[in-house]
Amino acid sequence: MANRIECSYENLSSSFLLQSSDYQKQFCHLYAHRLAEMTRLLKPLAQSKWGEDIPIMKLCELRGEQDVHCIIIGTIYKHQAHKPSILRDISEENQLAPQPQRQNYSEPGDKVILEDELQRARLQGEHITGRNLATGIVCAVKGGTDSDGYFNVEDMLFYESGPQKSLTASKPKSKLVLVSGLDQLQSHNYVDALNMFQYWLSGSFSNSSDAASTVRLIVAGNSVRNTAVATVPTLQVARSQANANDTVQAVSQLDSWFAAWAQALHVDVMPGAFDPANFMLPQQPFHKCMFPLAGKLSSFQAVPNPYSCRVNNALIVGTAGQNIADLLRSTGLESSLEALRCTLSWGHIAPTAPDTLACYPYIQSDPFIMKQCPHVYFAGNCEKFETELLVGSGGKQTRLVCVPSFSKTQSVALVDLETLDCREIKFQVEAE
Amino acid sequence: MSLQQALDDCLIDFDRRVLVTDLLEKYKLTYKEAHETLEAHIKEQERANTNKFEKRFLVHGMKANGDGELYTIVQGEDKLKEWLDKLQNSQSQLYSVEIAGGSKTAAPIFKPMQHVEVKLAKLEQRAGAATKPVANGVDHKPLNGNAVTTKPAGVKVEPTKATGSKLEPTNSTSSKVESTTSTEEQKKSSPTEQKGGKGKAAVAATKKGSINSFFSAAPAGKAQPPKETKPAAASKAASGSMENFLKKQPTSSESKKSPTESVKKELTAAANTSVQLFDDVESEASSDEEEKLDKLRRKVVGSGDESDDGGTKPTTSKRRRISDSEDEEQPQKKSTETQSKQQQQEEEKEAMDVDAAATNETFLDDDGFVITVRPKKQTQAAAAATKKKTSPTAAASSAPTTKKKSPPAAATKAGKLAKETPKTKQSNISSFFTKK
């Protein structure tokens, strides 16, 4: 019986663990901290890119003067006519029939506005592609004001997730398995695929050499269910109780799965959008009482969503996919991979939080800012497997991985942490 | 048993779908071993018999367009060939076998694997995972605050001794004689000392609340025997039976209660004080003599309660009942009372005691009359007691019993006293109820 290789591991998710739970605070603090923090990070980048001749100014310093060439650092606010609004929902409840929810509320006519600490200005220019921007992005824009009050953008600069440590070649090659959307409640539909997956993990399918180098499995959310619980207006109590029982049984089953898998390799389990966890980002790790069997093993751990860790010098950052799904709703971005790439270049894991994505009202920090560029950046619960090796400024290399939902595709992603190669492993059963 | 042996002995039922993964779990084999053994057996079976098996194969290979790796399950050898051609670097293994045309297979159930071919080098149990049982996620930690925690008996005994020693100064304040008698008795009877301490501990534990104080009052009374002996020790005028009673009380408790028993009772008392009280009564009231003594004591306590009630505590019928059934008296809170009141109580108790002793001599004569004959000593003592009495209520307290039990023919001094009783009795009862 072969042994799996050992490698260094460091959990870097402490910033996503909530120390207190004060939900009374306003979200303005979060935006204020995001702007302040990213202004500090963007300033040197802007000066190095555009030179120190161009002044970095505040919008209030322009005072309506025209043809002032400057750099403004601020937060994008996208004015969208169809953006969900709780106030509108309430008003419509009183009078009108509810409007059907849109899958995507981005339109070409969306107005892009830049806000700094005190003021706002509407942006226009060739570089401004409103459809591909989202509320909450902090960026630096170079340009000047015109007589109509617009800020004509000549160039834009994003943080691009900061510097990256070079990936040193590690002697024992280590690989990472990413899986999401196990959807235990529907697992009876793909029992054989699951069975193949677990014996593949254990190295039974004549793949023992590959399995030995696979050091860690990250379960990126939606392990219990992959869709929202159907809400029925009538018989709500009975329905919710039935669902609760389902969930308890599903968690119990998952516990036995994870306990078995954790004997073969290290397993990190993240909560997802439809899992029995807190709704707001960052989602806190599952309580240890939920997994009494797996929790006994030190190779199993429940981790938050987003999750960040370092395995063999490779920085791995990822989410269960809520940030990507929300971006796809609010922008014109067409694929999960594109959205993932954008968040990396914007230097923020979840820019739409707290606007359209639920998020804890931080008052002293914004933990979603990516201050260090990851080597592997993934999002779980995507429609299909997609991957790209993004080469950024300064030769930074990041493997972007859209981890497909296992319940939909019966596939997982395998990432080589040395070469950052990534491939999909599919487990399928041909229809009989 | 090996897989080969199981196959040879036909222990594996191929009417149902048999997964190779199930076999490797059961027989602790590698996939390759299980697959080869099973494949050989099936070929042999197919060659020998007309049985045909439905086989499903696990095909592994790279997709032609470089889209990744594929593990797929295909049914039948035709499909197998097709897939082997379709995939690059393809290879196949047996995945499941069942008798062709057999009954419909049940819905597959996912079983988490137990047999791992490539395992973790250091598979460790999380610290404290096995040793610390968790019930509903609640650790049974000692809580601060009002929660009552069960502690070892030794822990409880220590504070009781301390509190017992604390009681002494309060006794010494009343009189020297009292303090000496009380200390003597404490020395004599260690169980009672423990009882008293326990009572104090219970008081400390349950200081607040009427019910708590109700229960705590009873055990607190156990520290009282020295105090209850005050009137007897001080006056020396009490009857012989009263003296017997006073002597018997510590000895009976000493003889019957071993230290271990007392510790046990402490534990039970910690759980439920009222239960402990009744237990005491049951254990002590075994002999007839002791029953008599108990009656005496109850009467003494009852009269004491009546007089005490007006002073500090309101008496309820329930409480009265408890204190009757109990062998002990009221908590010692009376040290602050005035000296005159104490004297009055003592006199009342003496009178009651005399009357109670007189009842022992009651009998039916030949004509069917009830005759009560008192010993001379007692009557003299009673007379002395009545002489001492100053308040009419105290005189009345002795009267009812004498009147009841004295026959009309008997014209003694006691009879004279009995004539005076009706008025005083009424006033006594009315004053008793008004006090209540």
Helix axes B376-388, B392-405, angle to 10 degrees: 150
Nearest by CB to residue B118, choosing from A4, A414, A427, is A4
Mean pLDDT of B344-353: 60
CA separation for the pair B175, B346 (Å, rounded)? 14
Mean pLDDT of B384-413: 43
Residues 6+ apart with CB under 8 A from A407: A181, A182, A183, A186, A187, A189, A190, A226
DSSP letters spanning A171-183: SS--EEEEEB---
Mean pLDDT of A224-228: 87
Residues 6+ apart with CB under 8 A from B425: B396, B399, B400, B403
pLDDT at B394: 41
DSSP-based three-state secondary structure for B185: helix
pLDDT at B281: 41
How far lies B286's CA from each of A78, A363, B268, in Å? 93, 75, 21
> Nearest-CA distance from A135 to chain B in Å?
35
Residue B378 — φ and ψ, nearest 5°? -65, -45
List of chain A residues whose C-beta atoms are within 8 Å of the C-beta of residue B124 = 297-299
Is a pLDDT exceeding 90 seen at residue A73?
yes
Sheet of A422-429: strands edge to edge? A300-302, A266-270, A214-220, A175-179, A411-416, A422-429, B69-75, B53-62, B88-99, B18-19
DSSP letters spanning B186-217: HHH-HHHHHHHHHHHHHHHHT-SSHHHHHHHH
Q: What are B418's two structure tokens? A: 């009995």
CA separation for the pair B47, B273 (Å, rounded)? 84
State whether B68 and A424 contact (CB < 8 Å).
Answer: yes
Mean pLDDT of B94-115: 80
CA separation for the pair B315, B434 (Å, rounded)? 12
pLDDT at B340: 60
Mean pLDDT of B23-50: 81
pLDDT at A104: 83
State whether B58 and A205 contact (CB < 8 Å).
Answer: yes
Q: Quickly count: other Cβ atoms within 10 Å of residue B64's Cβ.
A: 9
User: pLDDT tens digits, residue range A290-313?
Assistant: 999 999 999 999 999 999 999 988
pLDDT at A228: 81
Helix axes B288-309, B273-284, angle to 10 degrees: 140
DSSP-based three-state secondary structure for A38: helix
DSSP-based three-state secondary structure for A158: coil
pLDDT at B311: 40
pLDDT at B15: 76
Is a pLDDT exceeding 80 seen at residue A410?
yes
Q: Where are the alpha helices (DSSP H) in A11-149?
A: 28-50, 59-62, 86-95
Nearest by CB to residue A203, choosing from B58, B68, B118, is B118
The beta strands (E) that lie in B243-388 are given as 362-364, 370-372
> Nearest-CA distance from B98 to chain A in Å?
14
pLDDT at A67: 73
Q: What is the ipTM of this complex?
A: 0.86
Q: Where are the domains of chain A?
A: 9-22+163-426, 54-157
Residue A33 — φ and ψ, nearest 5°? -70, -35
User: Mean pLDDT of all residues in chain A?
Assistant: 88
Is a pLDDT exceeding 80 seen at residue B153?
no
Q: Quickly count: other Cβ atoms within 10 Å of residue A97's Cβ.
A: 7
Question: Which of B116, B126, B139 to mutate against chain A (most A CBs within 10 Å)?
Answer: B116
Is a pLDDT exceeding 60 seen at residue A200?
yes
Q: What are B379's two structure tokens? A: 């009557």
Higher pLDDT, B5 or A217: A217
Query: Does B250 sit behind a cis peptide bond, omega within 30 degrees of 0 on the bond before it?
Result: no
Instruction: Please report, rounded to a whole number, the percentage of residues in chain A having pLDDT higher than 70.
Output: 91
Asked which of A157-161, B139-143, B243-247 is least confident by mean pLDDT, the reply is B139-143
HSE at residue A193, side-chain half, CA atoms within 13 A, is 25
State whether B123 and A297 contact (CB < 8 Å).
Answer: yes
- What CATH number has the domain spanning A9-22+163-426? 3.60.21.50
pLDDT at A232: 56
Amino acid at A306: P
Higher pLDDT, A176 or B203: A176
CA separation for the pair B231, B247 (Å, rounded)? 14
State whether B117 and A204 contact (CB < 8 Å).
Answer: yes
The beta strands (E) that lie in B23-113 are given as 53-62, 69-75, 88-99
Nearest by CB to residue B112, choosing from A208, A256, A426, is A256
pLDDT at B68: 82
> Nearest-CA distance from B13 to chain A in Å?
20
CA separation for the pair A310, A34 (Å, rounded)? 24
Q: Taking the mean position of all CA atoms in its chain, how far away is CA A343?
A: 8
Is a pLDDT exceeding 60 seen at residue B190?
no
Assign domain A54-157 to a CATH class: mainly beta
pLDDT at B402: 40
Question: Which of B84, B109, B120, B139 to mutate against chain A (most A CBs within 10 Å)?
Answer: B120
CA separation for the pair A311, A114 (Å, rounded)? 38
Residue B174 — φ and ψ, nearest 5°? -75, -60
Residue B88 in contact with partner chain A when CB distance is under 8 A: no
State whether A298 and B79 contact (CB < 8 Å).
Answer: no
Of all residues in chain A, the one with the smallest CA distance to B91 is A206
Residue B139 in contact with partner chain A when CB distance is under 8 A: no
pLDDT category of residue B239 using cuts at 50, 70 and 90: very low
Asked which of A37-51, A194-208, B196-210 is least confident by mean pLDDT, the reply is B196-210
CA separation for the pair B45, B98 (Å, rounded)? 12
Q: What are B269's two structure tokens? A: 């008392």
pLDDT at A240: 61
Q: Which one of A235-239, B355-359, B423-427 scores highest in mean pLDDT?
A: B423-427
Amino acid at B384: A
Q: Which one of A76-85, A243-252, A287-296 scores highest in mean pLDDT?
A: A287-296
Mean pLDDT of B113-119: 83
pLDDT at B426: 67
DSSP letters spanning B403-415: HHHS-TT--SHHH
The angle subtended at Cα B126 by Cα B123 and Cα B128, nearest 5°, is 145
Residue B121 in contact with partner chain A when CB distance is under 8 A: yes
pLDDT at B309: 42
- Give the residue among B195, B134, B179 at the shortest CA–CA distance from A289: B134
Mean pLDDT of B105-125: 81
Q: Quickly count: other Cβ atoms within 10 Å of residue B126's Cβ.
A: 15
pTM of the model: 0.64
Q: What are B395's two structure tokens? A: 């005189």
Size of interface A-B (CB pairs under 8 A): 145
Q: Where are the alpha helices (DSSP H) in A262-360?
A: 322-330, 336-346
CA separation for the pair A346, B334 (Å, rounded)? 82
Mean pLDDT of A276-290: 92
Tell me the CATH number of domain B3-99, given options 3.30.750.24, 3.10.310.10, 3.30.43.10, 3.90.1030.20: 3.90.1030.20
> Nearest-CA distance from A400 to chain B in Å?
16
pLDDT category of residue B407 using cuts at 50, 70 and 90: very low
Return the DSSP state at A305: B
Mean pLDDT of B373-388: 54
DSSP letters spanning A359-415: B---SS--TTB--S--SEEEEEEESS-EEEEEE-GGG-EEEEEEEEBHHHH-EEEEE
Residue B209 — φ and ψ, nearest 5°? 95, 140
State whether B118 and A195 contact (CB < 8 Å).
Answer: no
Mean pLDDT of A55-66: 80
State whether B118 and A1 contact (CB < 8 Å).
Answer: yes
State whether A428 and B71 contact (CB < 8 Å).
Answer: yes
CB B9 within 8 Å of CB B3: no
Sign of CA dihedral B302, B306, B312, B316: positive
Asked which of A74-78, A116-120, B140-144 is least confident by mean pLDDT, the reply is B140-144
CB A138 within 8 Å of CB A39: yes
List of chain B residues whose C-beta atoms are within 8 Å of the C-beta of residue A217 = none
Of all residues in chain A, the one with the smallest CA distance to B24 is A204
Higher pLDDT, B1 or B151: B1
Pairing of strands A307-311, A9-11: antiparallel
Looking at chain A from residue 255 to 284, which residues have their Cβ under 8 Å from any Cβ of chain B?
256-257, 259-261, 263-266
pLDDT at A81: 79
Residue A297 in contact with partner chain B when CB distance is under 8 A: yes
Residue B90 in contact with partner chain A when CB distance is under 8 A: no
Amino acid at B329: E
Residue A432 in contact with partner chain B when CB distance is under 8 A: yes
User: pLDDT tens digits, residue range B191-235?
Assistant: 444 444 444 444 444 444 445 444 444 444 343 443 333 433 334
The angle subtended at Cα B290 by Cα B192 and Cα B298, nearest 5°, is 75
pLDDT category of residue B253 using cuts at 50, 70 and 90: very low
User: pLDDT tens digits, residue range B50-81?
Assistant: 678 888 899 999 887 777 889 999 988 888 88
- Give the residue among A409, A407, A412, A427 at the shortest CA–CA distance from A227: A407
CA separation for the pair B273, B132 (Å, rounded)? 33
Instruction: Please report, rounded to a whole number, the percentage of residues in chain B having pLDDT higher than 90.
Output: 2
Across B356-373, b (16+ Cβ under 10 Å) vs e yields bbbbbeeeeeeeeeebbe
Mean pLDDT of B38-61: 82
Is a pLDDT exceeding 90 seen at residue A220?
yes
User: pLDDT tens digits, residue range A373-392?
Assistant: 999 999 999 999 999 999 98
CA separation for the pair A185, A160 (Å, rounded)? 39
DSSP-based three-state secondary structure for A268: strand
Looking at chain A from residue 30 to 59, which residues have their Cβ under 8 Å from any Cβ of chain B?
none
State whether B110 and A187 contact (CB < 8 Å).
Answer: yes
CB B423 within 8 Å of CB B395: no
Looking at chain A from residue 144 to 183, which residues have their Cβ under 8 Å from any Cβ of chain B?
none
Is a pLDDT exceeding 60 seen at residue B264?
no
CA separation for the pair B360, B373 (Å, rounded)? 9
List of chain B residues whose C-beta atoms are within 8 Å of the C-beta of residue A385 = 68
Of all residues in chain B, the one with the smallest CA distance to A267 is B120
Amino acid at A219: V
State whether B119 and A261 contact (CB < 8 Å).
Answer: no
pLDDT category of residue A327 using cuts at 50, 70 and 90: very high
Is a pLDDT exceeding 90 seen at residue B393?
no
CATH 3.90.1030.20 domain span(s) along chain B: 3-99
Higher pLDDT, A105 or B396: A105
DSSP-based three-state secondary structure for B95: strand
Residue A195 in contact with partner chain B when CB distance is under 8 A: yes
State whether A298 and B24 contact (CB < 8 Å).
Answer: no
Residues 6+ apart with CB under 8 A from A213: A4, A5, A172, A173, A174, A175
Asked which of B59-68, B165-174, B184-193 is least confident by mean pLDDT, the reply is B165-174
> Nearest-CA distance from B148 to chain A in Å?
27
